[in-house]
Amino acid sequence: MTLKISVAQLNFVVGDMKGNAQRIVTAAREAHANGVTLLLTPELALCGYAAEDLFLRAAFIDACDDALKWVSEQTADLKGLYLVVGHPDRPASHVGSSLRKRSVSVVGLHNAASVIHHGRVIHTYAKRHLPNYQVFDERRYFVPGDRECVFEMAVEGGSAIKVGLLICEDAWFEEPAAECVSAGADVLAVINASPFHAGKGNEREEQMRARVKATGKPLIYAHLVGGQDEIVFEGRSFALDAAGQLVARAVSFEESVFEVQVANAPRGGLTISGEIDRPHSDEADLWHALVLGVRDYIGKNGFPGAVLGLSGGIDSALVLAIAVDALGADKVRVLMMPSPYTAGISVQDARDMAQRVGVRYDEVDILPEFEAFKSSLAPFFDGLEEDTTEENLQARIRGVLLMALSNKFGSIVLTTGNKSEMATGYCTLYGDMAGGFAVIKDVAKTQVFRLARWRNQHNPYRTADNPIPERIITRPPSAELRPDQTDQDSLPAYEVLDAIIEHYMENDRSPAELIGLGYRQEDVDKVVRLIRINEYKRRQAPVGIRVTHRSFGKDWRYPITSKWRA
C-alpha cells in the first residue's frame, strides 16, 4: 500500500471565506490530479486565523457554514480524495453526514476540522485544548471538544489506513494523541496555526517528536503561512517517521503544496518520506518574517505602498531595506527631513542608501517649521531653558509631514522604532511613533545591527546588494535632536539594556533576580522604571510585527495606572 498526503500550506485571509474556499477547492483539485489521497488545510483555514471578535458575530459563522457547504459541493467529484478543512463550528450542527443551516447563536463555538469525502462531511472534530496565553485568546471564543477523531481512508487494493486528527495545541498534550492511537490511528495528522517567533520552528518539531516517541506513530504537521496584523505564520510544515526522525519539511515563509508519501513498512506500521527544505539561520528567519509581515499587512489591507522617514540612522535604514524586499522599490518612498542638528553625513548616508535600493527620495528642511513652532510657543516658554520639548517638536514636525504624504497619496507610514526604544520610551508620541505599521517594534537594538549586517551579506529577494552603507552600521546611534547627542547618553549600553529587557519583560524575571545575575542595580532600576512609566506611550503605538515570544502587543497587557514597583 502506498499513498500520498498533501498539506495546503497557503496564505489564507481572515474573513475572506469565498476566497479561502476557492483556494481550498483549487488545491484539492490539484492534489486529486496528482494522485493525493488526503489533503490537509491549516487550522481555521476557511475563515483565517485569528478572526478574534468576528467569531462573536452570528453572520460571520453563517458565512463560514456556507463556505464549508460550498467546498463540499465543489469537491464531490474528486473520487478517492479525503479533505480536512479547519473552520469554526457550532456543536450539534451536523445531522448524520449532511450540513444544515446554523442557528443565529454562536454560544459554544468549536475550533473544528471537518473531514470531507465525496461531497459529504463524514467527521467533524473539535479542538480539545484551547490556548489562552501569549497571543492566544481561544477560550474567549471557543469551548473544548471532548473526544478523539479517527477516520478511515480507503486506499488502493482494498486496504485502509486510519488517521488520528488533532488541532494544534492538542498535540502539545499527551492524552489526545494517545486516545487516537487507542482508537486505532495508524498516523497522526495535526493541523495548525502557530504564530512565529524566533526559535519556534525547532520547538514545534521537538514537541511533535515527543508525541511520536510516545505513540510510535508517524506524524504530519500541517501549518499556515502568512501575516495577520502583528503575527506571522511561517509555514515550515513537516513530517516525522515512527521513530521521530524528520523525513520531510516544507519551505518556510512561502506558500507550498507540501507532499509526503506513505507506505507499509516491512515489519508493520507505516513509513513516511518526502523532501526536506534546508534550515535557515536565526537572522534569515527574522528577515523573512519581517518581510512577510510587511508585505501581507500592506497587501491585505489594500495600501498602494509605503512611506517612511529616512534619517541616516540604522533603524530607518533597516526598515527601508525590509520594505523594499517586501514591496519592491517602486512602492516605497522616503523623506529625509534634516533639522539644525542633523549631521551632514546623515544626509549623505540617507542619499546613498536611497540610491542603492532605488526608491524615490526627497528632502525637506524642517528648520522653517521648527522656528515657527518655537516662535508661537515663545510667550509660554519665556525664561525657560530648551529641553526635550524642543527636541520633540522636531520629531512631531516630521510625523506631520509623513502623515500628510500618507493622506494625500494613500501610502502607509512605516515607523522605525525598535523594541529597545519602545521598552524605554525613547520615542516621541505623535512624532517618530506616528504612522500605521511599526515594522521593527519587536526587534531589539542589538538584533537591529545583526540584521543589518546579515542583509548586507545576503540578497534573498534579489532587490539590492549591500543596501545599507557601512557608516550607518558603525556610527554611534543618535536621534540628532540636540547638539552631539547619542542614544547612549541616556540609556545603558545596548548589550546591557537589551539583556535586561529580555529578562524582565520577556521572561518575567524580577529586579532582584537580575541583580543576582550580575547586572548593576542602577541599570536594572532605571530600565525597569522606564518600562513601567512608558506604558501609556506603547498603548498609542502602531501595531507591529511580533518576532519574539513576548512582544509589546497582545503578549503584554500591563496596566498604565499601577503602584506596583517590582
Domain ranges of the chain: 2-278, 284-487, 492-533
Question: Is residue 156 flagged as an active site residue?
Answer: no
Q: Is the pLDDT of residue 373 over 70?
A: yes
Q: What is the pLDDT of residue 104?
A: 40
Q: Is the pLDDT of residue 481 over 80?
A: no
Q: Is the pLDDT of residue 390 over 70?
A: yes
Rounded mean pLDDT, 54-71: 97
Nine cell digits for residue 211:
508525541
Interval 76-127: pLDDT, tens: 999 999 999 999 999 864 433 334 444 444 568 999 999 999 999 999 999 9
Rounded mean pLDDT, 480-500: 79
Percentage of residues in the chain having pLDDT higher than 70: 95
Q: Is the pLDDT of residue 503 over 90?
A: yes
Q: What is the pLDDT of residue 480?
A: 60
Q: What is the pLDDT of residue 94?
A: 43
Q: Is the pLDDT of residue 219 over 80?
A: yes
Q: What is the pLDDT of residue 485?
A: 59
- Letter string b/e over residues 190-204, b meaning 16 or more CB atoms within 10 A of that residue's CB: bbbbbbbbbebbeeb
d(CA 547, CA 370): 36
The residue behind cell 462531511 is: 121
Helices (H), 282-432: 282-300, 314-327, 344-357, 367-381, 388-409, 419-424
Percentage of residues in the chain having pLDDT higher than 90: 89
Q: What is the pLDDT of residue 103?
A: 42
Q: What is the pLDDT of residue 495?
A: 96
For the sheet containing 306-309, what is the strand order? 360-363, 332-336, 306-309, 412-415, 437-438
Interval 5-42: pLDDT, tens: 999 999 999 999 999 999 999 999 999 999 999 999 99
**Cβ–Cβ under 8 Å, residues 305 and 437:** no
Q: Which fold has domain 284-487?
A: Rossmann fold (3.40.50)
Q: Is the pLDDT of residue 252 over 50?
A: yes
**Cβ–Cβ under 8 Å, residues 259 and 271:** no
Q: What is the pLDDT of residue 397?
A: 97
The residue behind cell 513516511 is: 272
Q: What is the pLDDT of residue 95?
A: 36
Rounded mean pLDDT, 354-360: 98
Q: Which of 47, 149, 168, 427 is catalytic?
A: 168
Q: What is the pLDDT of residue 154?
A: 87
Q: Is the pLDDT of residue 381 over 60?
A: yes
Q: Which of 47, 64, 127, 421 is catalytic?
A: 127
**Cβ–Cβ under 8 Å, residues 155 and 3:** yes
Q: What is the pLDDT of residue 155?
A: 81
Q: What is the pLDDT of residue 106?
A: 53
Nine cell digits for residue 264:
507499509
Rounded mean pLDDT, 158-185: 95
Rounded mean pLDDT, 377-392: 94
Q: What is the pLDDT of residue 428?
A: 96
Question: From start to end of 143-194, where are the E strands?
Answer: 150-154, 160-167, 187-191
Look up the CATH number of domain 2-278.
3.60.110.10
Rounded mean pLDDT, 402-421: 98
Rounded mean pLDDT, 62-71: 98
Q: What is the pLDDT of residue 491?
A: 87
Q: What is the pLDDT of residue 548?
A: 97
Supply the mean pLDDT for the chain.
94
Q: Which of 79-88, 168-177, 481-490 has the lowest mean pLDDT?
A: 481-490
Q: Which of 43, 169, 421, 506 is catalytic?
A: 43
Question: Is residue 180 flagged as an active site residue?
Answer: no
Q: CB burial class (10 A; 0-12, 13-18, 19+) of residue 358?
A: middle
Q: What is the pLDDT of residue 477?
A: 74
Q: What is the pLDDT of residue 479?
A: 65
Question: Is residue 43 flagged as an active site residue?
Answer: yes
Q: What is the pLDDT of residue 98?
A: 39
Q: What is the pLDDT of residue 92?
A: 66
Q: What is the pLDDT of residue 487?
A: 61
